[in-house]
């Protein structure tokens, strides 16, 4: 029996061939910490998966529909990407998990042969609030495509993810909005824990790592309770969810600084939906290993480049006759072959190539940022070299 800080006891036994037994013995996933900053909790390590290692800390590009928008898998590999995300809810709607499985599974279907992660559909509980109803059983959605009713339960989410075949799959959770009352957040946090219990029982594949998700809104005591409860379950990895949903950056920092150290140090820690420089640096200083965000490709589609911590709008007149590369220090295809003036011209002309080049650059920029932090941690320079982001 496993005691829960939420006041319940979970009747699990480690019996052979049960999902929990598989997690306890699985050799497919492991995390190795190589170095830790002497002044912060920042750490550099390696997360080992069946499709290869992921060096941490690391930014992971988002490919919601088995595609990082406007970028081919070959181009994505050249950015330095090691792990890519897709979304359970959206892939269930189109093309359907059966078709993905028929195409050889998610990796083969999209032509990406490195590690992959699928979100559970839990974020859509938040983002599609006008088209869903939450019950203890799960969430009833109305499809934005054709109005079809979709009943997504913890068991159904896990079954879809088992069929898709990503290396890491996420537990189905309820992501509360900001602002929300303590009573609302407490109910969502406890329901997320109960759903996680059901996800573990439903999970059928030892070659997929199921990560639990810590919820709790901006209430630090609820976050602590949730983190401690999840830590008892000995999952292959843990995520902090429900941030970057409208709360001030200061509150996000408090949540991460309070929660990350409570998660098992021998397991990877993932901060969901965060991909800005300062927030990643602060999170890494708290012990976070993995990040994802749609920002690099979304900003690219709006003609925006991320350059050494700044945000450049390529529609601005000053770039029309600027023949320097976006960033002379950047090794990406866009910076090595094209000028700011040319990319500005493409943006103004609404050429698709503009979005491809800016996506390639922006993804490379965020991966380089986490790579530089990793190198600084390995040589114990992180606290000094990245102090301007931490402060």
CB 260 within 8 Å of CB 240: yes
Provide the domain count of the chain. 1
Catalytic residue among 167, 173, 289, 292: 292
CB 55 within 8 Å of CB 114: no
Give, in degrees to the nearest 5, the angle at Cα 117 between 210 and 107.
120
Mean pLDDT along residues 316-334: 98
> How would you class 94 by CB atoms within 10 Å of its CB: exposed for 0-12, middle for 13-18, buried for 19 or more?
exposed
Asked if residue 21 is part of any domain, the answer here is: no
pLDDT digits (tens, 9 = 90+) for 145-202: 777 888 999 999 999 999 999 999 999 999 999 999 999 999 999 999 999 999 999 9
pLDDT digits (tens, 9 = 90+) for 294-304: 999 999 999 99
Query: Which pLDDT band holds residue 254 (cuts at 50, 70, 90)?
Result: very high
Asked if residue 314 is part of any domain, the answer here is: no
Beta strands 149-152 and 139-142 are: antiparallel
pLDDT digits (tens, 9 = 90+) for 132-154: 899 999 999 887 777 788 899 99
Asked if residue 170 is part of any domain, the answer here is: yes
Q: Say which residue the tokens 């401690």 belong to.
A: 228
Which CATH number belongs to the domain containing residue 286 in this structure? 3.20.20.105
CB 199 within 8 Å of CB 154: yes
- pLDDT of the residue at 128: 79
- As a whole number of angstroms, the distance between CA 38 and CA 268 comes to 19
Asked if residue 266 is part of any domain, the answer here is: yes
Of the chain, the percentage scoring pLDDT greater than 90 comes to 87
Asked if residue 245 is part of any domain, the answer here is: yes
Asked if residue 234 is part of any domain, the answer here is: yes
Mark whether 119 is an active-site residue.
yes
Mark whether 207 is an active-site residue.
no
Mean pLDDT along residues 216-228: 98
Asked if residue 267 is part of any domain, the answer here is: yes
Residue 364: both structure tokens together: 């490379």
Asked if residue 89 is part of any domain, the answer here is: yes
Mean pLDDT along residues 216-245: 97
> Is 2 a residue whose pLDDT tops 50?
no
Catalytic residue among 119, 167, 173, 289: 119
Of the chain, the percentage scoring pLDDT greater than 70 comes to 93
Q: Looking at residue 266, what DSSP letter applies? A: T
> Is 98 a residue whose pLDDT tops 70?
yes
- Domain hosting residue 179, numbered range: 29-294
Query: Which pLDDT band holds residue 127 (cuts at 50, 70, 90)?
Result: confident
pLDDT digits (tens, 9 = 90+) for 337-360: 999 999 999 999 999 999 999 999
């Amino acid at each position: 029996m496993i005691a829960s800080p939420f006041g319940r006891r979970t009747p699990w036994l480690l019996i052979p061939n049960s999902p929990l037994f598989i997690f306890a013995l699985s050799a497919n996933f492991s995390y190795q910490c190589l170095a830790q900053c002497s002044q912060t909790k920042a750490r550099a390590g390696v997360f080992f998966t069946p499709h290869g290692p992921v060096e941490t800390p690391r930014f992971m590009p988002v490919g919601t529909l088995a595609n990082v928008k406007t970028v081919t898998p070959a181009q994505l590999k050249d950015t330095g990407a090691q792990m890519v995300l897709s979304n359970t809810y959206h892939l269930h709607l189109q093309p359907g998990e059966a078709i993905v499985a028929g195409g050889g599974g998610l990796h083969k279907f999209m032509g990406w042969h490195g590690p992959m992660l699928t979100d559970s559909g839990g974020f859509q509980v938040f983002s599609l609030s006008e088209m869903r109803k939450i019950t203890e059983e799960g969430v009833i959605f109305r499809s934005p495509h054709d109005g079809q009713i979709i009943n997504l339960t913890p068991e159904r989410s896990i079954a879809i993810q088992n069929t898709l075949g990503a290396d890491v799959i996420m537990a189905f959770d309820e992501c509360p909005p900001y602002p929300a009352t303590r009573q609302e957040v407490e109910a969502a946090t406890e329901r997320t824990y109960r759903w996680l219990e059901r996800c573990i029982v439903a999970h059928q594949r030892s070659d997929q790592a199921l990560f639990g998700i810590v919820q709790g809104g901006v209430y630090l005591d609820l976050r602590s309770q949730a983190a401690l409860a999840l830590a008892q379950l000995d999952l292959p990895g843990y995520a902090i969810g429900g941030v970057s949903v409208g709360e001030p950056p200061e509150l996000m920092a408090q949540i991460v600084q309070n929660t990350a150290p409570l998660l098992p140090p021998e397991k990877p820690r993932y901060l969901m939906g965060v991909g800005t420089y300062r927030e990643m640096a602060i999170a890494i200083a708290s012990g976070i290993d993995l990040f994802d965000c749609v920002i690099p490709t979304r900003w690219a589609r709006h003609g925006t480049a991320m350059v050494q911590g700044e945000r450049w709008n390529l529609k601005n007149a000053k770039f029309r006759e600027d023949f320097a590369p976006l960033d002379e220090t950047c090794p990406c295809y866009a910076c090595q072959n094209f000028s700011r003036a040319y990319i500005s011209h493409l943006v103004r002309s609404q050429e698709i190539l503009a979005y491809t080049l800016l996506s390639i650059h922006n993804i490379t920029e965020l991966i380089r940022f986490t790579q530089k932090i990793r190198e600084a941690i390995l040589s114990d320079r992180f606290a000094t070299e990245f102090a301007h982001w931490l402060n």
